[in-house]
Structure 1
Amino acid sequence: MLGVTAAVAALGLTATLAGCGATGAKGDVTLTLVAADYDLVGGDSTEKYWAGLTAAYEAKHPGVDIDVRIESWDDVDRVVAELADAGRAPDIAQIGAYADHAARDRLYTADELLSVPVQANFLGPLISAGEMKRVQYGMPFVASTRLLFYNKRLFADAGIAEAPTTWDELAAAARKLKREKVPYPFALPLGPEEAQAETMMWLLAGGNGYTDDGGRYVIDSDANVSTFRWLKDELVDKGLTGPVAPGKLNRKAAFAAFSRGEVGMLNGHPSLMKEAAKQGVDVGMVPLPGRDQEPRASMGVADWIMAFKQNGHRKEIGEFLNFVFDDANVLKFAGENGLLPSTVSASVAMGSDPEHAALAPFLRALPNSRLYPVGKTSWAQVSEQVKKNIGRAVDPAGSPDAVLSTIGREATTAEDAE
Structure 2
Amino acid sequence: MRRGIAATAVVASLALAATACGGSDDDGGKASGPTTITWWDTSNATNESPTYQALVKDFEKANKDVKVKYVNVPFDQAQNKFDTAAGASGAPDVLRAEVGWTPAFAKKSYLLPLDGTEALAEQGKFQPNLIKQAQFEGKTYGVPLVTDTLALVYNKALFKKAGITKAPTTWDELKSAAAKVKDKTGVDGYWGSEKGYYLEPFLLGEGTDTVDATAKKITLGSAAGQKATKTWLSTFDGKGLHKADVTADSYAHRQDAFVNGKVAMTVEGPWEVTNFYKGSAFKDKANLGIATVPAGSSGKAGAPTGGHNLSVYAGSDKAHQEAALKFVKWMTSAATQSKIAQKNATLPTREDAYTAQVTADPGLAGFQKVLPAAHPRPELPEYSSLWGPLDTELPKAAGGKESIDKVIDTVETQYTKLLPDGFTK
Structural mapping, 1:17-166, within 5 Å: 17-21=17-21, 22-23=24-25, 29-38=35-44, 44-62=46-64, 64-85=66-87, 88-96=90-98, 97-111=101-115, 113-115=117-119, 117-158=121-162, 160=164, 162-166=166-170
CA contact (8 A) 1:228 1:394 kept: no
Which segment is superposed worse, 273-282 or 316-325?
273-282
1:376 Cα offset (Å): 0.9
1:378 Cα offset (Å): 1.6
Structural mapping, 1:10-409, within 5 Å: 16-21=16-21, 22-23=24-25, 29-38=35-44, 44-62=46-64, 64-85=66-87, 88-96=90-98, 97-111=101-115, 113-115=117-119, 117-158=121-162, 160=164, 162-177=166-181, 180=185, 182=187, 185-191=189-195, 195-196=196-197, 198-212=198-212, 214=214, 216=216, 217-236=218-237, 240-241=241-242, 244-245=245-246, 249-250=250-251, 254-277=254-277, 279=279, 280-281=281-282, 282-291=287-296, 294-312=299-317, 313-347=320-354, 349=355, 355-356=360-361, 359-367=364-372, 369-373=374-378, 375-409=379-413
- Secondary structure of 1:267's aligned partner: strand
Question: Which sections of structure 1, spanning at least 5 residues, go unmatched?
Answer: 7-13
What corresponds to 2:3 in structure 1? none
1:242-283 deviation line (CA, Å, top 9, x unaligned): 573277523x66445422333321112335445424545212
CA contact (8 A) 1:100 1:380 kept: no
CA contact (8 A) 1:150 1:284 kept: yes
- Secondary structure of 2:380's aligned partner: coil
1:152-195 deviation line (CA, Å, top 9, x unaligned): 2233445555433332332233345556553x64232334xxx4
CA contact (8 A) 2:117 2:325 kept: yes
Which segment is superposed worse, 296-305 or 395-404?
296-305
AA of the residue aligned to 1:4: V
Given the two structures, how large is their TM-score scaled by the length of structure 2? 0.79
Which segment is superposed worse, 18-27 or 138-147?
18-27
AA of the residue aligned to 1:59: K
Distance in 2 of aligned mates of 1:238 and 1:353 = 38
- Secondary structure of 1:45's aligned partner: coil
Q: Does residue 3 of the first structure (1) align with residue 7 of the second (2)?
A: no
Distance in 2 of aligned mates of 1:163 and 1:367 = 17
1:172-220 deviation line (CA, Å, top 9, x unaligned): 33345556553x64232334xxx42x12122123442234494644222
1:83 Cα offset (Å): 4.0
CA contact (8 A) 2:205 2:300 kept: yes
Question: CA separation of 1:80/1:173 partners in 2, compared to 1, >3 Å: closer, same or farther?
Answer: farther
1:318-341 deviation line (CA, Å, top 9, x unaligned): 111111122211111123333332
1:290 Cα offset (Å): 2.5
Question: CA separation of 1:412/1:136 partners in 2, compared to 1, >3 Å: closer, same or farther?
Answer: farther
AA of the residue aligned to 2:259: S
Distance in 1 of aligned mates of 2:254 and 2:82 = 26
User: Once superposed, what is the RMSD of the aligned Cα atoms?
Assistant: 3.5
CA contact (8 A) 1:288 1:295 kept: no
1:122 Cα offset (Å): 2.0
1:387 Cα offset (Å): 3.7
Given the two structures, how large is their TM-score scaled by the length of structure 1? 0.81
Distance in 2 of aligned mates of 1:187 and 1:178 = 12
- Secondary structure of 1:140's aligned partner: strand
CA contact (8 A) 2:193 2:244 kept: no
- Secondary structure of 1:141's aligned partner: strand
AA of the residue aligned to 1:227: A
CA contact (8 A) 2:41 2:73 kept: yes
1:344 Cα offset (Å): 4.1
Which segment is superposed worse, 25-34 or 268-277?
25-34
Percent of paired sites with the same residue: 22
Distance in 2 of aligned mates of 1:72 and 1:240 = 35
CA contact (8 A) 2:19 2:71 kept: no
Distance in 1 of aligned mates of 2:180 and 2:83 = 45
1:287 Cα offset (Å): 2.2
Distance in 1 of aligned mates of 2:27 and 2:214 = 51
1:88 Cα offset (Å): 4.0
Distance in 2 of aligned mates of 1:205 and 1:397 = 26
AA of the residue aligned to 2:268: G
